Amino acid sequence: MDRKNIVIIGSGNVATHLAIAFLKAGHRILAIISRNENNAAKIAEKTRSHYSSDFAAVPSETDFIIVAVKDETIAEIASELNSGNAIVAHTSGSMEMNVFQNHAQNFGVFYPLQTFHKEKELEIREVPFCIEGNNETTANSLSELAKSISNNIHFVNSENRKVLHVAAVFACNFTNHFYAIAESILAEKNLSLDILRPLIKETALQVMDKNPSQLQTGPAIRGDEKIMQQHLNYLAAKPELAELYKLISKNITKTSP
What is this structure's pTM?
0.86
**Is 92 in contact with 9 (CB distance < 8 Å)?**
no
Q: Is a pLDDT exceeding 80 seen at residue 220?
A: yes
For residue 217, the number of C-alpha atoms closer than 13 Å in the C-beta half-sphere is 6
The identity of residue 63, as a single letter, is D
Domain boundaries, the chain: 5-156, 162-255
Give the pairing of strands 5-9 and 107-112: unpaired
User: Which pLDDT tens digit goes with each residue over 92-116?
Assistant: 999 999 999 999 999 999 999 998 8
CATH of range 5-156; options 3.40.1280.10, 3.40.50.300, 3.40.50.720, 1.10.1040.10: 3.40.50.720
pLDDT digit string (tens) for 110-134?
A: 999 998 887 777 899 999 999 999 9
Write the DSSP symbol of residue 236: G
Handedness of CA 85, 109, 73, 76 (dihedral sign): positive
Contact 20, 41 (CB under 8 A): no
Does the domain at 162-255 match CATH 3.30.70.1290? Answer given as: no
What is the Cα–Cα distance from 97 to 180, expressed in whole angstroms? Answer: 34
